Amino acid sequence: MLLSVRDLRSAFFLDEGELWAVDGISFDVDIGETVGLVGESGCGKTIVAHSILDLIPYPGRVVSGRVMFDGRDLMRASTEEMRRVRGGGIGIVFQEAAAALNPVYRIGDQIADVLQLHRGMNKQQAWKETVRVLGEMGIPEPEKRAKSYPFELSGGMKQRVMIAIAIAGRPKLLIADEPTTALDLTVQAEITDLLEHIQEQYRMAILIISHDLEMVAEMSDRLMVMYTGRLIEMGHTRDLLASPEHPYTKGLLAAIPQLGAGSDVPLEGIPGAVPDLLDLPAGCTFHPRCPLADADCEVEPPPIKTVGYGRECACYKVRMQT
Amino acid sequence: MRPDDAERRVRNRAWLPGLGHMSLGRWGRGIRLTLFTLAVVLLMAWRWDRFFGAFSTPFFDRWVASVFLILLLAGAVWYSRWDVGRILSDGGDGKPGKSPWKVAMRRFSENRLAVYSIYLILFFYAAAILAPILAPYDPAAIPDVMTNRYLPPSWVHPFGTDEFGRDLFSRALYGARVSLSVGFLAMIIAKTVGTIYGAVSAYFGGIVDAILMRILDVWFAFPTFYLMLMLVGVFEASLLMLVLILGFTAWPGTARFIRGEILSLKNQQFTEAARAIGLPAHQIILKHLIPSALSPVLVTAALAVAGMIGAEAGLSFLGLGIRPPTPSWGNMVSAGSDNLLNAWWVAFFPGGLLTLTLISFSLLADGLRDALDPKALMQKYV
């Protein structure tokens, strides 16, 4: 296993109380695999990514759990080891490239930094490689563009630069946190194509995080669904889309509008709203919105258990299939 | 004639600063360059014995003055060649600068008042460095006191003479060295120490931040001016001591200011992104946080120089700064204040120079603030 996360718990210690953004999740990512993590906004997807790299901003922190990456326990890694993993072992693409690029540095310098840090290049080598990587990212006139400042680039270009920074250190795992959310549809398709191309080229594993179920489904081998800081269902993408088990996953899939479905087909939503993470319902956090819920669901949160081939689900109402 | 030859001839003419520009039709810059070079050369010729003689004396300041004059000349030639080359290759105007710093430079250069201020400040600093070459008299030499004391301004003594018959123009030149260097060096110390301290405190946060900030609070509890008076009283008031005292009493303000800037920058995504590529903490602070916080520092730095020069003048006026006979603008004003009605020029000229300098720095700070406005910097193709 390239990455294995076990019972990860991360919280923000706010004045209003403890906010458990990630509450005991476990998953694996294998070498060269693409895993999707989907969920509604505010369910803790991004915090999962940040927990893995220990990047959670104050007043939050990883409270417990185990993150093994490439045979190393990241929770016990020294600052120095962690620095090598960040950018060198695991690259991360942020949601808003415009905010993640430093506005007063030329983009080439920002990429060259990674090459100097993680691939032991000197300045000239790093600059040459930077131009090559930019070209590979599909940026026209890379020599000229490397000298540009972020504000001179379009949104799609910035996202390509962001990806270039993330993969420049040849990481084994790329975490793409909402890589296409800020972009318009045609550019989204270009970026997902680019990610797929990179994965083939460098045999990188990708953990793709998004609220856009369709985009993730198109790219990933396996899919994980997250709700209020917990994983509630995971399985092979095609299998999971064809036969969702958890009522929440079913609801999510039903809520996707179908192009050309006609106006007579009503769009189904999930009743209710995502609960406040500071004030979660007892038991299964989904029970107030769940059509199958009964008294059992209000006591203990259901553990995630295997319910089929490669399929895990956290619901009392879902039984093991035989 | 082939265009290459014409170009080469222009390039060769540019060895004489200004000539290349003039043959390209750029009269304004060409004439200014020529006049500047002419002034430097004439100064060399006029004071040749002092200029050349400096190299055979053990006095470091005279040596520096001569080297500075040579550098000015070399700089003029280099600039002339470089600028002509630039004009020939891309037409001179080029594309409008696109880097945030270039945009700021252009915005700054459009502010006339600020540009003139910077010229005046540079002129004062150059005059201070060149004092051994420019000064007509020895600033400390006391000639026949009875016939020379309190002479009003004249061609022989442009600023008049003081109660000991010393030439005030020479003293003002040498006094500029003290006042200007104290202001500049103390500002550098205060800004460097304050910036690093504030940045470290903000970046690491938590307990480090708490401890560093409590130390600052203790520092702030002392009234600065009395602290200065006390330190000046305890230590011998040499130039170096004065720089250190002024610098180290001013840094906490910068530190607190920078801490606030960095705290807001620290939560921006590009800092997180810098951590995510494994950049070590000191590089994040030096490459990402401090440069982004630099523009307000620059603005306050210009104001700080003015403040430091004023503080030095104040201390010297009280007799606690630079002690006579070493001249500084502060102690010259102090000496003249005894006899303001009978010999106004003794206090007027150093006081006027002081005022001009302080105003120039304030205008410079204003210009910098307008030019470095971050909203304007991020604008696309300003």
- pLDDT on residue B382: 37
Q: Cα separation of A213 and A146, whole Å?
A: 34
Residue B138 domain-assigned (yes or no): no
Cα atoms in the Cβ-side hemisphere of radius 13 Å centred on A157? 16
Higher pLDDT, A66 or B154: A66
Query: Out of A26-30, A244-248, B261-265, B336-340, which region has the weakest mean confidence (pLDDT)?
Result: B336-340
Q: What is the residue type of A259?
A: L
- pLDDT on residue A221: 92
Same domain, B196 and B76: no
Residue B54 domain-assigned (yes or no): yes
- Here the ipTM equals 0.85
Residues A314/A246, Cβ–Cβ less than 8 Å? yes
Same domain, B74 and B13: yes
Residue A186 to chain B, least CA–CA distance (Å): 24
Tokens of B126: 């150059």
- pLDDT on residue A161: 92
DSSP H helix total and E strand total for chain A = 11, 12
**Residue range(s) defining the domain that contains residue B38:** 1-94
Same domain, B60 and B153: no
Query: Which residues in chain A have Cβ-Cβ distances shorter than 8 Å to B380?
Result: 151-152
Which range has the top average pLDDT, B50-59, B132-141, B190-199? B190-199
Mapped onto helix, strand or coil, the DSSP state of residue A230 is strand
- pLDDT on residue B376: 56
Query: Out of A273-277, B89-93, B293-297, B369-373, which region has the weakest mean confidence (pLDDT)?
Result: B89-93
Q: Cα separation of B382 and B379, whole Å?
A: 6
**pLDDT tens for each residue of B60-85:** 888 888 889 899 999 999 998 888 88
DSSP H stretches of helix in chain A: 45-52, 79-88, 97-100, 107-118, 123-136, 142-145, 155-168, 185-202, 213-219, 237-242, 247-254
Same domain, B287 and B362: yes
- pLDDT on residue B380: 43
- pLDDT on residue A266: 72
- Closest of A292, A289, A312, A178 to residue A235, by C-alpha: A312
**pLDDT tens for each residue of B113-140:** 999 999 999 999 998 888 888 878 887 7
Yes or no, beta carbons of B205 and A58 under 8 Å apart? yes
Find the angle CA(B97)-CA(B101)-CA(B105) to the nearest 5 degrees: 75
Query: Which residues in chain B have Cβ-Cβ distances shorter than 8 Å to A165?
Result: 273, 277
Nearest to A92 among B276, B291, B292 (CB): B276
Residue B75 domain-assigned (yes or no): yes
- Asked if the model's pLDDT at residue B314 lies above 60, the reply is yes
User: What letter would DSSP give residue A40?
Assistant: -
Q: Cα separation of A286 and A291, whole Å?
A: 10
Yes or no, beta carbons of A101 and B378 under 8 Å apart? no
Yes or no, beta carbons of A86 and B269 under 8 Å apart? no
Query: What's chain B's length in residues?
Result: 382
- Closest of B363, B285, B337 to residue B120, by C-alpha: B363
Query: What's chain A's length in residues?
Result: 322
Higher pLDDT, B97 or B100: B100
Burial of residue B56 (CB within 10 Å: 0-12, 13-18, 19+) is exposed
Q: Count CB-CB contacts under 10 A for residue A73.
A: 11
- pLDDT on residue B58: 81
Chain B: residue whose CA lies nearest to A49: B276
Chain B interface mutation, best of A54, A61, A69, A105, highest count of B Cβ atoms under 10 Å: A105
Mapped onto helix, strand or coil, the DSSP state of residue B280 is coil
- Asked if the model's pLDDT at residue B379 lies above 80, the reply is no
Tokens of A296: 């059992």
Query: Which residues in chain B have Cβ-Cβ distances shorter than 8 Å to A88?
Result: 278
Nearest to B98 among A82, A86, A149 (CB): A149
Yes or no, beta carbons of B99 and A106 under 8 Å apart? yes
Q: How confident is the model at residue B381 (pLDDT cuts 50, 70, 90)?
A: very low
Residue B17 domain-assigned (yes or no): yes
Q: Cα separation of B22 and B169, whole Å?
A: 36
Residue B318 domain-assigned (yes or no): yes
Residue B348 domain-assigned (yes or no): yes
Residues B258/B198, Cβ–Cβ less than 8 Å? yes
Nearest to A55 among B205, B206, B275 (CB): B275
In what order do the strands lie in the sheet containing A3-14?
A17-29, A3-14, A60-69, A72-73
Q: Cα separation of B265 and B289, whole Å?
A: 7
Q: Which residues of chain A have pLDDT under 50?
A: none
- pLDDT on residue B12: 82
Yes or no, beta carbons of B380 and A152 under 8 Å apart? yes
Yes or no, beta carbons of A102 and B270 under 8 Å apart? yes
Cβ-based neighbours of B23, under 8 Å, separated by 6 or more: B9, B10, B13
Same domain, B78 and B160: no
- Closest of A269, A292, A293 to residue A281, by C-alpha: A293
Give Cα B242 to chain centroid, integer Å: 17
- pLDDT on residue A151: 84
Query: Which residues in chain B have Cβ-Cβ distances shorter than 8 Å to A55?
Result: 272, 275-276
Q: Cα separation of B297 and B290, whole Å?
A: 9
- Closest of B254, B256, B265, B272 to residue B293, by C-alpha: B265
Yes or no, beta carbons of B98 and A152 under 8 Å apart? yes
Q: Report the interhelical angle of B112-129 vs B344-371 (nearest 10°).
A: 130
Yes or no, beta carbons of A114 and B277 under 8 Å apart? yes
Residues A191/A160, Cβ–Cβ less than 8 Å? yes
Yes or no, beta carbons of A99 and B269 under 8 Å apart? yes
Residue B112 domain-assigned (yes or no): no
- Asked if the model's pLDDT at residue B107 lies above 60, the reply is yes
Higher pLDDT, B96 or B102: B102
Yes or no, beta carbons of B279 and A113 under 8 Å apart? yes
Residue B118 domain-assigned (yes or no): no
Yes or no, beta carbons of B269 and A94 under 8 Å apart? yes
Q: Cα separation of A315 and B200, whole Å?
A: 48
Same domain, B161 and B34: no
Can you tell me the mean pLDDT for B158-166?
80
Chain A: residue whose CA lies nearest to B278: A83
Query: Where are chain A's structural domains?
Result: 3-228
Q: Which CATH architecture has domain A3-228?
A: 3-Layer(aba) Sandwich (3.40)
Yes or no, beta carbons of B267 and A57 under 8 Å apart? yes
Q: Count CB-CB contacts under 10 A for residue B160.
A: 21
Can you tell me the mean pLDDT for B318-345?
81
Query: Which residues in chain B have Cβ-Cβ distances shorter than 8 Å to A148?
Result: 98
Query: Which residues in chain A have Cβ-Cβ distances shorter than 8 Å to B101?
Result: 104
Q: Count CB-CB contacts under 10 A for residue A62.
A: 20
**pLDDT tens for each residue of A125-144:** 999 999 999 999 889 889 88
Q: Report the interhelical angle of B290-317 vs B224-234 (nearest 10°).
A: 60
Find the angle CA(B183)-CA(B184)-CA(B187) to the nearest 5 degrees: 85
Chain B: residue whose CA lies nearest to A57: B267
Query: Which residues in chain B have Cβ-Cβ distances shorter than 8 Å to A119?
Result: none
User: What letter would DSSP give residue B338?
Assistant: G
- pLDDT on residue B91: 61
Residue A280 to chain B, least CA–CA distance (Å): 27
Which single residue is written with the structure tokens 């603030």? Answer: B369
Q: Cα separation of B364 and B347, whole Å?
A: 26
Same domain, B60 and B158: no
pTM of the full predicted structure? 0.76
CATH number at residue B197: 1.10.3720.10
Domain count, chain B: 2
User: What letter would DSSP give residue B161?
Assistant: B
- pLDDT on residue A232: 92
In chain B, the percentage of residues whose pLDDT exceeds 70 is 94
